């Protein structure tokens, strides 16, 4: 924790007038070109998405890469948006849970999470959806250990993870991606 | 209100020029240390030179003699088949770092430049006497890891210098990295050890993390065990129980740990001896 300075609230423009502004810059988010204006140099991609571009899907929790609730895809790779400087996303493709939801790509993951009880307070859910989408397109039949490792950067304080893992197996089953262990949903665990 | 300079170079030379031209500019790689500090108000860069687009920093080259690893190599990249078969202990260390999200972003150069006692790539680099290549306005220089990482989060990297790559000599034989923390994922090391066994030179190299301000070599343990191993035993190198126990003690003796919020000095000293011995036993089992 910072010793003295109060949190500036998600690394937004600090109250201090001396904060460095950057020239307006363009980001491509969910396939759409968007302009970021009047931004402070130190703003994270997470802050820019939520507070400047009106995309609150990526959640703001730990601001130190520990919780995964701000997971987004940056040029097809899953990262924590809180650890990307907004200006450093220029020229890259940013995909947020909103984009994946609108395209319907993650509809089955969302449904399975709801069905299995993998959503309780729901705060971590968008991050899990993005991380799971990333995993299942790279490794459709990922076994249990692989799934657990892929989700190790996403914290959920409600479910105890069992129901989330159950939802993953259900998606794999529905997508016809025979899981390496040959288990169906509800088996094993 | 002033407008901050942001440079997004695509070559190392451009990065060096950008760093020189923007006073106070700071290098940004994967952001996994940098952005945490910014988010918590501990770092306030007046200008930034971002390295993510510098492709040449992300290259690695494996030859029969050496491995060259670009500073922009991410932890995820360290699992690349060519790189991980040449440096399996680096791949193992990389896999213990943070989470998939952190491994996709965090880089080798950032780990070296952050110079945390718990930096997980550093013990293996120390064990292999790694050389760090840096480039600045007046050209390139090569320094040992010990010359670059000089203390807890302090380095000799100049404000106008970019870490370009790290070079290590290949050692024929097994190598291991072992780390202790409170759990498997997302954990900063309480103690760590890298062990490299050279089956041709009959040499053992041991370096420790999180038990001193900088990564330390356990030289007395190295000399002892190289001497105690029966290198020509049928079925591969062997060491007696007594020799292994002594090895663990000598490793613990090389540590100068502190007590902090993560652990106590006593536990760190004990643990580092145990894990170094375990790493050595795994190496010996693999050399058979
Ligand atoms: C949640 C989380 C978990 C973590 N877990 C671990 C862990 O288990 N083990 C571990 O070792 N670390 C861990 N870290 C720390 C961090 O991921 C590593 O130290 C990482 O290697 C930093 O690299 P980066 O590319 O992100 O550097 P950045 O954050 O971009 O930069 C870090 C520093 O290095 C400088 N720098 C970067 N590249 C260069 C270069 N080429 N030349 C000169 N200077 C440069 C920057 O100016 C800055 O001062 C963790 C971090 C987080 C957020």
Task: Look up the CATH number of the domain holding residue A141.
Answer: 1.10.150.120
* Domain match, A119 and A92 both: no
Q: Which residues of chain A have pLDDT under 70?
A: 1-19, 180-189
pLDDT of residue B287: 80
For B38-51, the pLDDT digits (tens) are: 999 999 999 999 99
For B51-97, the pLDDT digits (tens) are: 999 999 999 999 999 999 999 999 999 999 999 999 999 999 999 99
Across the interface, whether the CB atoms of B105 and A79 are under 8 A apart is answered yes
Chain A within 8 Å of B101 (Cβ-Cβ)? yes
Quick one: A24 exposed, middle or buried, by C-beta within 10 A (0-12, 13-18, 19+)? exposed
CATH of B5-50, one of 1.20.144, 3.30.43, 3.90.25, 1.10.760: 3.30.43
Q: What is the ipTM of this complex?
A: 0.95
CA of B33 to the centre of ligand 1 (A): 4
Across the interface, whether the CB atoms of B3 and A22 are under 8 A apart is answered yes
Tell me chain B's radius of gyration from C-alpha atoms. 19
CB-CB neighbors (< 8 A) of A10 in chain B: 39
Q: What is the CATH number assigned to the segment(s) B175-286? A: 3.30.390.50
User: Shortest CB distance from A78 goes to which of B2, B47, B101?
Assistant: B101
Alpha-carbon dihedral of residues A15, A21, A27, A33, nearest 10 degrees? 100
Quick check: is A96 in a domain?
yes
> Where are chain B's structural domains?
5-50, 55-169, 175-286
CA of B36 to the centre of ligand 1 (A): 10
How many of the other CB atoms lie within 10 Å of CB of B84?
A: 17
- For chain A, how many structural domains are there in total? 2
Chain A within 8 Å of B52 (Cβ-Cβ)? yes
Quick check: is A188 in a domain?
no
Chain A within 8 Å of B30 (Cβ-Cβ)? yes
Q: State both tokens at B71.
A: 């500073």
Q: How far apart are CA B115 and CA B258, in angstroms?
A: 17
- The domain boundary, picked from A65, A100, A135, lies at A100
CA of A135 to the centre of ligand 1 (A): 24
- Can you give the residue range of the structural domain that contains A112? 102-176
Q: What is the CATH number assigned to the segment(s) B55-169? A: 3.30.465.10
Quick one: B64 exposed, middle or buried, by C-beta within 10 A (0-12, 13-18, 19+)? exposed
Element (H, E) at B16: helix B12-21
The C-alpha angle with vertex A86 and arms to A25 and B75, in degrees rounded to 5, equals 135
Across the interface, whether the CB atoms of A87 and B48 are under 8 A apart is answered yes
Q: State both tokens at B69.
A: 């690893």
Quick check: is A44 in a domain?
yes
Chains A–B, number of C-beta pairs less than 8 Å apart: 124
């Amino acid at each position: 924790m910072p010793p003295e300075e109060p949190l500036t609230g998600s690394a937004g423009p600090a109250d201090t007038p001396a904060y460095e502004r950057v020239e307006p810059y363009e980001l491509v988010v969910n396939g759409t070109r968007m302009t970021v204006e009047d931004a402070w140099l130190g703003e994270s991609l997470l802050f820019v998405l939520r507070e400047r571009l009106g995309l609150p899907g990526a959640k703001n929790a730990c601001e130190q890469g520990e919780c995964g609730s701000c997971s987004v895809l940056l040029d097809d790779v899953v990262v924590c948006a809180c650890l990307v400087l907004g200006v450093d996303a220029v020229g890259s493709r940013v995909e947020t849970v909103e984009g994946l939801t609108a395209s319907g790509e993650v509809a089955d993951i969302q449904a399975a999470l709801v069905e299995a009880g993998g959503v309780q307070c729901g705060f971590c859910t968008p991050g899990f959806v993005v991380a799971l989408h990333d995993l299942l397109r790279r490794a459709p039949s990922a076994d249990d250990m692989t799934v657990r490792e892929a989700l190790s950067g996403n914290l959920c304080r409600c479910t105890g993870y069992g129901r989330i893992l159950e939802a993953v197996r259900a998606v794999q089953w529905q997508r016809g991606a025979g899981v390496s262990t040959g288990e169906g949903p509800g088996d094993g665990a | 209100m002033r407008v901050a300079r942001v440079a997004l170079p695509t070559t190392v030379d451009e990065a060096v020029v950008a760093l020189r031209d923007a006073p106070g500019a700071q290098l940004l790689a994967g952001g996994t240390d940098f952005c945490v500090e910014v988010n918590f108000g501990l770092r306030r860069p007046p200008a930034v030179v971002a390295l993510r687009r510098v492709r040449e920093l992300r290259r690695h080259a494996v030859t029969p003699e050496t491995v060259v690893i670009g500073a922009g190599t991410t932890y995820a990249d360290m699992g690349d088949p060519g790189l991980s078969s040449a440096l399996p202990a680096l791949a193992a260390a990389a896999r213990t770092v943070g989470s998939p999200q952190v491994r996709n972003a965090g880089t080798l150069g950032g780990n070296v430049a952050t110079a945390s006692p718990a930096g997980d790539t550093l013990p293996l680099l120390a064990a292999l006497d790694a050389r760090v290549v840096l480039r600045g306005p007046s050209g390139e220089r090569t320094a040992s890891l010990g010359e670059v990482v000089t203390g807890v989060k302090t380095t000799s990297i100049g404000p106008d210098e970019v870490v370009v790559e790290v070079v290590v000599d290949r050692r024929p034989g097994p190598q291991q990295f072992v780390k202790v923390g409170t759990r498997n994922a997302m954990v900063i090391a309480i103690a760590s050890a890298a062990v490299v066994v050279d089956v041709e030179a009959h040499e053992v190299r041991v370096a420790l993390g999180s038990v001193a301000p900088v990564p330390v070599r356990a030289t007395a343990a190295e000399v002892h065990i190289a001497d105690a191993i029966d290198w020509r035993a049928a079925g591969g190198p062997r060491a007696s129980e007594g020799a292994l126990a002594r090895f663990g003690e000598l490793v613990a003796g090389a540590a100068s740990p502190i007590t902090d919020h993560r652990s106590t000095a006593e536990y760190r000293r004990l643990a580092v001896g145990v894990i170094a011995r375990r790493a050595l036993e795994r190496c010996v089992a693999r050399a058979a």
